[in-house]
Amino acid sequence: MRQILQSVKDGETLICDVPCPQAGRGRLLIRTHTTLISAGTERMLVEFGKAGWLDKARQQPDKVRQVLDKVKTDGLFPTLEAVRNKLDQPIPLGYCNVGTVLEIGSGVEGFEVGDRVLSNGHHAEVVCVPQNLCARIPDNVSDESATFTVVAAIGLQGIRLAQPTLGETFVVSGLGLIGLLTVQLLRAHGCRVLGLDFNEQRLAQAAEFGAEPFNLGQGDPIPAAMAFSRGRGVDGVIITAATQSDEPVRQAAHMCRKRGRIVLVGVAGLNLSRADFYEKELSFQVSCSYGPGRYDSAYEQQGQDYPVGFVRWTEQRNFEAVLDMMQSGQLDPQSLITHHFDLDNAADAYALISSNDPSLGVMLQYPTPEQKPDTDLRENVIRKPKTIDTRLGSAPRVAFLGAGSFATQTLIPAFQQHGAQLAMVASRGGLTGTIADRKFKFDEVTSDTDAPFNDPNIDAIVIATRHDSHADLVCRALDAGKHVFVEKPLALNTEQLDSVLASAENSSHALMVGFNRRFAPHVQRMRESLAGAKEAKAFVMTVNAGMIPADHWVHDPIAGGGRIIGEGCHFVDLLRFLCGHPITQVQATMFGRTAADNIHDDRMTFTLSFADGSIGTVHYLANGHKAVPKERLEVFCGGRVMQLDNFRKLKAYGWPGLTKMNLWRQDKGHTNGVKAFLDAIRTGGPAPIPLDELAEVSRVTLDIVRAAETRETIVYDGSKPAPPNTSLDDTEFIPRPQTSLAD
């Protein structure tokens, strides 16, 4: 199937072949009939892409500050590389989609195959959309009219915040698509409406919808608004304009009566005057997209609806309300359509909305089933000529499961650098795999996540999916006779870990976990120096981890396992590697947890005791400043000290033959770890990290969380960690629905 992407680097509109996505849990697979280009939002994205580096920086000052902080902590070259990688990631366009349901994922309710539906799906021949972002279309509402539902819902949400009543006077400032739809919806509420814009054609359309028009290019709108409101001041102003000027908000304040309401739906400057708002006790509110549920992953991605008795109007229910208005004839968007383009000519459509030529509702038309059968659209693999070399010692053929940012920025380049054949990339949604293929040129791109296991020509599988899928995928890959490189963590609980170890012990293939730090040049040099030390060592690891939003999946105990299991395992492995002796005891303390959140392990200190008498303390802290380097390791041993700062600078005091080791750029060992894995495959040698160490580090990491929760000291009998003897109290966590395999 084909999908429209936007290059962030140069603004080019791309029409790409993409594997058909899979219908995951709680999602609908939809064949697209038509989509609407949202001129305001999508023109802004195109113009941003076409802007030069300096203009891009001016438009995103917050991102510039992040870049400068990263330069200070990680160095110039890694920062430039990260920025280039970000700009190399094209983005999908569109959020106004109408089509027919092809397939329903498990757990979906209220929809059937064959339903005609509206969704916020992208501009693509097939889209996969969560059920709460879809709505069934009434029979007498046309496809083209229904595509306006999402933008109309944006206006409707602004109206709901303004709470208009019958007979009130309202001003709509900015008469683009959303503004003209807002005019119609306010008229349906029984309000008198004054429409403001510079464009005479749009003012004429507003007049056709029952508004009184006023041309902003011909005078001051404030006296007109006062006259329109019979000298009382208008009851409310809804700003649907897109401008950097402060004028729309200033004018709104002067137009309003005492205790009037102002709602910002679009974009405007916000240098507000306190006096304008203070004297009239005005209310001002920014409207968030199409209603309650927006940006709430539990609602949008996991399908958890809000109870109607407490949240009457959600995103989906706003969609339904708009469609009901269209069905009754109170909302008619047909007159807003100005242009039609076939999908093949999408680049011309975007050239139009970026030009000065007049346009408003720009429609994209997609092939009909007669022109392109469903079977053609649902092809889930894109194959290119393969170069299979089965000779002994040839480059391993590698498949990637998951193609998110870490895979594309770190793992895939490392495998390519060290000579792996990039045979396949698989992602359930298809799009991220396609984006990875544009840059790295895989032999095959697929949305069939079973394909890597079933292909006999695949030597190794790299698992870069979400944490909850790791253990199952590792077992499947080993059982299928593949070498496995899995990003940490190896497992989220002891049951998963036991299953992985059973598969690994019964397999002759290498299992590697992405514990990259032990392969970093600095760490290798430290290990050489420590190998000759007979005294016990003290390790102090400080991790300035940084905050991750509370609703991020990594905090979900089911999907992500939390930050210690998901990332803290790195530091357990690092200290275990440097010490070279088994861990014998674990203690852990966390602080700052409140009943209001479910984050239980992003501010923690844990201490490891080793069989040789050494100790290691890790301070994993998410409450630090982002300008401070992320990781610092100090080693104290026999009157000597080593200090490693952020894998760039190593200082040694009292160590023969070692005083310092500095690198121009940060090196955390990713490429060296990948090389060691590929070398093991080529030579048939052992895995780079012994299986018993992988098991030990994984079990100890799980026990760290348990030790912090139960406030117990966990002592291991012998050299191997003991199985847990105390389970976590289920009330300590708020379970969430199982997250499906994601990109």
The pLDDT tens digits of the residues spanning 413-452 come to: 999 999 999 999 999 999 999 999 999 999 999 999 999 9
Q: How far is CA 662 from CA 73, 421, 666, 669, in A?
A: 14, 33, 9, 15
| Whether residue 167 sits in one domain with residue 129 | no
pLDDT band at residue 742 under the 50/70/90 scheme: very low
- Judge contact between 108 and 28, C-beta under 8 A: yes
Query: Based on the domain organization, do 591 and 712 belong to the same domain?
Result: yes
The residue that leads in pLDDT, 193 or 14, is 193
**pLDDT tops 50 at residue 14:** yes
| Structural domain includes residue 567 | yes
DSSP bridge partners of 10: none
Res 736: pLDDT: 33
Q: What is residue 122's predicted lDDT score, i.e. its pLDDT?
A: 96
Confidence of residue 386 (pLDDT cuts 50, 70, 90): low
3-state helix, strand, coil split of the chain in percent (to 5) is 35, 25, 40
Q: Is 220 helix (H, G, I), strand (E, B) or coil?
A: coil
Tell me what pLDDT residue 87 has. 65
Q: Is the per-residue pLDDT at 106 higher than 50?
A: yes
Look at residue 71 in the predicted model and tell me its pLDDT: 67
At residue 707, the pLDDT reads 94
Is there a contact between 28 and 109 (Cβ–Cβ < 8 Å)? no
CA distance 301 to 647: 37
Residue 691 in contact with residue 537, Cβ under 8 Å? no
Residue type, 238: I
Mean pLDDT over residues 489-511, rounded? Answer: 96
Q: Which two tokens stand for residue 213?
A: 């028009």
Per-residue pLDDT, 731: 31
Q: Please indicate, yes or no, if residue 98 is contained in any of the structural domains.
A: yes
- Span 35-60, pLDDT tens digits: 999 877 777 776 666 666 666 566 66
The answer as to whether 317 is a domain residue is no
Look at residue 615 and tell me whether its pLDDT is greater than 70: yes
Q: Which of 320, 347, 364 is the last residue of a domain?
A: 364
In the block, residue with structure tokens 């070398």: 679
**Do residues 237 and 189 both lie within one domain?**
yes
Rounded CA gap, 335 and 175, in Å?
A: 14
Q: How confident is the model at residue 737 (pLDDT cuts 50, 70, 90)?
A: very low
Q: How far apart, in whole angstroms, are the C-alpha atoms of residue 353 and residue 337? A: 13
Strand order in the sheet with 603-610: 658-662, 649-655, 640-645, 631-637, 538-544, 615-621, 603-610, 583-590, 714-715
What does the pLDDT read at residue 8?
Answer: 79
> Which pLDDT tens digit goes with each residue over 164-207?
999 999 999 999 999 999 999 999 999 999 999 999 999 999 99
* CA atoms of 673 and 676, how far apart (whole Å): 5
Query: pLDDT, tens digit, for every residue of 45-100?
Result: 766 666 666 665 666 677 667 766 666 666 666 677 766 666 677 889 999 999 99
Q: What's the CATH code of the domain at 359?
A: 3.90.180.10
Mean pLDDT of the chain: 90
Residues 6 or more apart in contact with residue 736 via CB below 8 angstroms: 298, 302, 556, 557, 558, 559
Closest listed residue to residue 636, CA positions, set 659, 619, 657, 653: 653
By the 10 Å C-beta count (0-12 exposed, 13-18 middle, 19+ buried), 614 is classed as buried
> Does residue 238 contact residue 163 with C-beta atoms inside 8 Å?
no
* Residue 742 maps to a domain: no
Number of structural domains (the chain) is 4
The stretch 366-370 carries a mean pLDDT of 95
Task: Tell me which residue has tokens 């011909």.
Answer: 218
Buried residues in 165-176 as b, exposed as e (16+ CB within 10 A): eeebbbbbbbbb
Whether residues 562 and 705 fall in one domain: yes
The residue segments making up the domain with residue 709 are 533-669+689-732
> Do 131 and 159 reside in the same domain of the chain?
no
Query: Does 476 or 395 have the greater pLDDT score?
Result: 476
pLDDT for position 62: 72
pLDDT, one tens digit per residue, over 243-262 is: 989 999 999 999 999 999 99
Could you give the 3-state DSSP secondary structure of residue 120?
coil
What CATH number does the domain containing 605 carry?
Answer: 3.30.360.10
Q: Confirm if 40 and 4 have CB atoms less than 8 A apart.
A: no
Q: Is residue 527 part of a domain?
A: no
Name residue 409's amino acid: Q
Q: Does any domain span residue 383?
A: no
Of 591, 619, 586, 624, the C-alpha closest to 700 is: 586
pLDDT band at 388 (very low <50, low <70, confident <90, very high): low
Are 410 and 506 found together in one domain? yes
| Residue 232 domain flag | yes
CATH number at residue 236: 3.40.50.720
Residue 471 falls within a domain, yes or no? yes
Query: Are residues 703 and 566 located together in one domain of the fold?
Result: yes
For 550-590, the pLDDT digits (tens) are 888 898 889 999 999 999 999 999 999 999 999 999 999 98
The answer to whether residues 359 and 278 belong to one domain is no
Please check whether residues 156 and 258 belong to one and the same domain.
yes
Is there a single domain that holds both residue 407 and residue 499? yes
The sign of the dihedral angle between the CA atoms of 625, 628, 630, 635 is negative
User: What whole-number distance in Å separates Cα of residue 346 and Cα of residue 250?
Assistant: 38
> Are residues 103 and 189 both part of a single domain?
no
Share of the chain above pLDDT 70, in %: 89
Are 415 and 462 in a shared domain? yes
